[in-house]
């Protein structure tokens, strides 16, 4: 990593720790050497602290209370009503974790995430490999294939809702034209799950493809030439040169896309509103529903779901990092 | 082993058997069958990628009462656009979105740039925790911050105000921008900083006069990313903004297609108007976008 050690070199700093002399003198010296860096990061630390740190702490606190629409402090006209919610410890957590709804949501969220990420990655990899060859019309295909990425997500989701329309949507029109009965895309639990995954894959493939294409182009061509000299088949070249060469990029995009998909709010919320019934509700949309859709609004319950989601994701990230480290990856 | 006896020597000897084993095609060439397969797959994929967008575009040009028919070249009309502009709050929503996304971008990039530079160039106490915080906050589900932020905005009287949404969007934009900017600053040679220091500039001067101008592409891409994120955000916008004239585009579009009514004409026309500017910007930025994202994430 390129770094101009305009501040203290790390080794020197470590050496200084040995002489644990006057701490005030050290503080002053640290300020003297690091104040540039600290001043530069101060705005972000401030922003993170105020608009992320504080709400986070408060969210965790809310999850330990019985706060809802009726007992939080609010102002109606000139009257201010004091908050009357109380601290109730871990009751929300036992309630949520003991509720079969949590398990249902968790299972579906995991299926949704695994399905979306694996299909997106596979399609992205196939298309990237194709686009990495040289042939006529490559630029055109490339532009066509990244188009879904260029359209704002919520617009695409509405476009798909239009296509999926049960009675008059183009997809069912095409099916019926081919003599097949139309499919209740968004009205049947199984088809709705299929539909949300389809849309999310459609949205996700361009990013995956372009990222992997970048990875492919950074693999030196000599490796392929050498392998061909040695008589390696196309599959062997893919298996032993392409895949290892893509490792770093793959690991990153898989991690990113797992986190994004796990928290993918707009696709589900705008396409099915979690329905039909609650068939496509994932953890994030459930948390939103608790606080902003259902009445009375259950702020404490929503915060509890939020904390649980965060814990799950952090666990996932830790396990992922550990498994990478075991395989000798730097990250 | 005829080649071994020729005077051409060993160099030819190593390549000739390999060449003989392979078909007479040159390296990188395909059989006609493989070529057809390649193009067929790509054509299918392209159609799947383009069709939904194209269909919406075509539908927006049809009279509203024919929105759900399959014939699309019969009567082309701009009526949907006309009624969208005159009968709905589309331009108010558009303005709200531009305002919110624009200010978020400027603030976010400005705050994040200095941090990106500091973590790229200096080793200072607190740097590793900061990097970790930036990374972890990207995992935060909207669900954990939305209720506290909602209550906070309520107390400050910022619900239904663009300012409230701007502050909220900074929670998304700032960590990611800082992370991406670090990746860009890492690609600028350290020698430039050093020469600046030799010329008597302090780190702020070096950053402002030398490095920031060089990082313009990075700033543009980061700015573009935060603009698009804010432009397309749904959850906070749906929860914080109510009332027709306060909505942003994401909320406004929802009013066209509710559970009970579907104004597909207005919806498709609005979709096209929202997508075109984003798509045009995007085409220019996409190459750098991926480089920035993956570089920031892999180099750590």
Closest-CA distance of chain B to residue A330, Å: 9
Give, as one character, the DSSP assignment of residue B26: P
What predicted TM-score, i.e. pTM, was given to this entire model? Answer: 0.81
User: Are A47 and A119 within one domain?
Assistant: no
B28 pLDDT band (50/70/90 cuts)?
A: low
Continuous H helices in chain B? 10-21, 32-60, 79-87, 90-121, 127-137, 142-156, 162-186, 190-198, 203-205, 212-214, 216-231, 235-240, 249-256, 264-299
Domain-located, residue A308: no
pLDDT for res B8: 40
Q: What residues in A contact B210, CB-CB < 8 Å?
A: none
Residues 231-270 of A with CB under 8 A from B: 231, 248-249, 251-253, 255-256, 259, 262-263, 265-266, 269-270
User: Are A134 and A239 within one domain?
Assistant: yes
Domain-located, residue A9: no
Please name the member of B28, B35, B56 whose beta carbon is closest to the beta carbon of A159: B56
pLDDT above 50 for B1: no
pLDDT for res B22: 47
B3 pLDDT band (50/70/90 cuts)?
A: very low
Question: Cα–Cα distance between B47 and B261 in angstroms, integer?
Answer: 30
Which residue pairs from A68-71 have beta carbons closer than 8 angstroms and sit at least 24 positions apart in sequence? A68/A296, A68/A297, A68/A298, A68/A299, A68/A300, A68/A301, A69/A295, A69/A296, A69/A297, A69/A298, A69/A299, A70/A296
CATH code at position A134: 1.10.3720.10
| CA angle (B198, B203, B204) in 5-degree steps | 130
pLDDT for res A231: 87
User: Are A106 and A178 within one domain?
Assistant: yes
Closest-CA distance of chain A to residue B280, Å: 8
User: Are A179 and A113 within one domain?
Assistant: yes
B104 pLDDT band (50/70/90 cuts)?
A: very high
Chain B contact for A308 (CB, 8 A cutoff): no
Residue to test with chain B: of A4, A34, A83, most B Cβ within 10 A: A4
pLDDT for res A148: 87
Give, as one character, the DSSP assignment of residue A83: P
Mind listing the pLDDT tens digit for each residue in B123-177?
888 888 888 888 778 777 777 788 888 888 888 888 888 898 998 898 888 888 8
pLDDT for res A316: 87
User: Are A39 and A142 within one domain?
Assistant: no
Domain-located, residue A13: no
Q: Where are the domains of chain B?
A: 93-297
Domains in chain A, number: 2
Cβ of B140 and A52 within 8 Å?
yes
Domain-located, residue A206: yes
Domain-located, residue A319: no
Which is nearest to A306 in space by CA: A316, A291, A321? Answer: A291
pLDDT for res A115: 96
User: Are A198 and A261 within one domain?
Assistant: yes
Please name the member of B68, B152, B253 whose beta carbon is closest to the beta carbon of A158: B253
Which one is predicted more confidently, B179 or B30? B179
Q: Which pair of structure tokens corresponds to residue B196?
A: 């600046």
Domain encompassing residue A56:
25-81
Per-residue buried b or exposed e for A198-218, using 16+ beta carbons within 10 Å of the residue's own CB: bbbbbbbbbbbbbbbbbbbee
Specify the DSSP element, H or E, that contains A74.
strand A74-76
Closest-CA distance of chain B to residue A63, Å: 10
pLDDT above 90 for B294: no
Domain-located, residue A90: no
User: Are A61 and A201 within one domain?
Assistant: no
Specify the DSSP element, H or E, that contains A25.
helix A23-47
Question: What is the mean predicted confidence (pLDDT) over B115-122?
Answer: 88
Domain-located, residue A158: yes
Backbone phi, psi, residue A81, to 5°: -100, 125
pLDDT for res A253: 86
Fold of B93-297: MetI-like fold (1.10.3720)
Question: Cα–Cα distance between A99 and A264 in angstroms, integer?
Answer: 23
B29 pLDDT band (50/70/90 cuts)?
A: low
Q: What residues in B contact A269, CB-CB < 8 Å?
A: 234-235, 238
User: Are A118 and A230 within one domain?
Assistant: yes
User: Are A31 and A152 within one domain?
Assistant: no
Please name the member of B178, B239, B299 whose beta carbon is closest to the beta carbon of A1: B299
What is chain A's mean pLDDT, rounded?
82
Q: 3-class SS at A182?
A: coil
Which one is predicted more confidently, A150 or B67? A150
Residue to test with chain A: of B28, B68, B122, most A Cβ within 10 A: B122
Q: In this structure, are residues B143 and A290 in contact, taking their beta carbons and an 8 Å threshold?
A: no
pLDDT for res A198: 94
Cβ of B139 and A133 within 8 Å?
no
Backbone phi, psi, residue A302, to 5°: -60, -45
Which is nearest to B99 in space by CA: B293, B271, B248, B263? Answer: B248
The conformational region for residue A45 under phi > 0 = left, psi -120 to 50 = alpha, else beta, is: alpha
What is chain B's mean pLDDT, rounded?
79
Residue to test with chain A: of B16, B26, B49, B231, most A Cβ within 10 A: B49
User: Are A137 and A212 within one domain?
Assistant: yes
Cβ of B141 and A37 within 8 Å?
no
Q: Which pair of structure tokens corresponds to residue A152?
A: 């704002």
B27 pLDDT band (50/70/90 cuts)?
A: low
Residues 81-120 of A with CB under 8 A from B: none
Mind listing the pLDDT tens digit for each residue in B208-257?
888 888 888 888 888 888 888 888 888 888 888 887 778 888 888 888 87
Q: For a pLDDT cut of 70, what percent of chain B falls above it?
A: 81
pLDDT for res A111: 95
- Is the ipTM of this structure higher than 0.90? no
Closest-CA distance of chain A to residue B216, Å: 18
pLDDT for res B43: 92
pLDDT for res B73: 62
Domain-located, residue A4: no
* Chain A residue at shortest CA distance from B149: A55
Mean pLDDT by runs of 10 across the 331 residues of chain A is 43 45 68 81 87 87 83 67 76 86 91 96 93 85 87 88 81 80 82 93 91 87 89 88 87 86 89 84 87 82 88 86 68 41
Question: Cα–Cα distance between A217 and A172 in angstroms, integer?
Answer: 40
* Chain B residue at shortest CA distance from A329: B298
Q: What residues in B contact A69, CB-CB < 8 Å?
A: none
Dihedral of CA A224/A230/A231/A237: which sign? negative
User: Are A126 and A156 within one domain?
Assistant: yes
User: Are A169 and A211 within one domain?
Assistant: yes
Q: What residues in A contact B231, CB-CB < 8 Å?
A: 152
* Chain A residue at shortest CA distance from B202: A36
Chain B contact for A132 (CB, 8 A cutoff): no
């Amino acid at each position: 990593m390129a770094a101009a050690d305009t501040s203290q070199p790390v080794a020197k700093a470590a050496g200084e720790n040995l002489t644990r002399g006057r701490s005030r003198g050290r503080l002053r010296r640290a300020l003297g050497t690091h104040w540039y860096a600290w001043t530069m990061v101060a705005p972000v630390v401030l922003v993170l602290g105020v608009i992320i740190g504080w709400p986070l702490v408060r969210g965790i606190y809310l999850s330990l209370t019985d706060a809802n629409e009726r007992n939080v402090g609010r102002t109606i006209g000139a009257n201010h009503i004091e908050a009357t919610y109380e601290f109730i410890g871990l009751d929300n957590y036992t309630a949520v974790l003991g509720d079969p709804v949590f398990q249902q949501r968790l299972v579906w969220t995991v299926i949704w995430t695994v399905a979306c990420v694996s299909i997106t990655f596979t399609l992205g990899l196939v298309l990237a490999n194709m686009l990495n060859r040289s042939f006529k019309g490559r630029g055109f295909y490339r532009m066509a294939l990244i188009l879904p990425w260029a359209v704002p997500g919520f617009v695409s989701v509405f476009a798909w809702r239009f296509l999926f329309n049960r009675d008059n949507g183009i997809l069912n029109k095409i099916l019926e034209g081919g003599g097949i009965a139309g499919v209740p895309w968004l009205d049947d639990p199984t088809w709705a799950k299929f539909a949300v995954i389809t849309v999310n894959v459609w949205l996700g493939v361009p990013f995956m493809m372009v990222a992997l294409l970048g990875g492919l182009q950074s693999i030196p061509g000599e490796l392929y030439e050498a392998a061909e000299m040695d008589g390696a088949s196309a599959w062997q070249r893919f298996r032993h040169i392409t895949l290892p060469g893509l490792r770093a990029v793959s690991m990153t995009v898989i991690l990113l896309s797992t986190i994004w998909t796990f928290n993918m709010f707009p696709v589900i919320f705008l396409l099915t509103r979690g329905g039909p019934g609650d068939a496509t509700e994932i953890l994030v949309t459930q948390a939103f529903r608790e606080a902003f859709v259902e009445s009375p609004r259950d702020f404490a319950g929503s915060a509890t779901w939020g904390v649980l989601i965060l814990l799950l994701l952090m666990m996932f990230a830790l396990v992922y990092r550990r498994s990478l480290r075991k395989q000798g990856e730097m990250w | 082993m005829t080649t071994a006896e020729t005077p051409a020597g060993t160099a030819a000897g190593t390549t000739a058997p390999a060449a003989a084993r392979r078909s007479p095609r040159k390296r990188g060439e395909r059989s006609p069958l493989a070529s057809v397969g390649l193009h067929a797959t790509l054509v299918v994929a392209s159609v799947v990628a383009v069709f939904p967008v194209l269909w919406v575009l075509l539908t927006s040009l049809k009279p509203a009462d024919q929105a759900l028919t399959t014939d699309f070249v019969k009567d082309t009309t701009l009526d949907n656009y006309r009624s969208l502009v005159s009968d709905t709050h589309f331009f108010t929503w558009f303005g709200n979105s531009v305002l919110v996304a624009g200010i978020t971008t400027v603030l976010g990039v400005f705050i994040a740039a200095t941090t990106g530079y500091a973590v790229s160039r200096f080793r200072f106490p607190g740097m590793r925790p900061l990097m970790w915080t930036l990374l972890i906050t990207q995992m935060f589900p909207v669900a954990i911050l939305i209720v506290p932020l909602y209550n906070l905005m309520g107390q400050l009287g910022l619900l239904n105000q663009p300012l409230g949404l701007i502050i909220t969007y900074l929670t998304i934009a700032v960590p990611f921008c800082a992370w991406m900017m670090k990746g860009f600053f890492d690609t600028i040679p350290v020698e430039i900083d050093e020469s600046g220091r030799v010329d008597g500039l302090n780190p702020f001067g070096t950053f402002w006069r030398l490095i920031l101008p060089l990082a313009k592409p990075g700033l543009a891409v980061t700015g573009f990313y935060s603009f698009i994120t804010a432009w397309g955000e749904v959850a906070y916008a749906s929860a914080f903004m109510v009332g027709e004239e306060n909505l942003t585009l994401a909320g406004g579009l929802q009013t066209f297609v509710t559970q009970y009514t579907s104004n597909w004409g207005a919806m498709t026309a609005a979709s096209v108007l929202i997508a075109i500017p984003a798509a045009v910007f995007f085409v220019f930025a996409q190459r750098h976008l991926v480089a920035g994202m993956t570089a920031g994430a892999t180099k750590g």
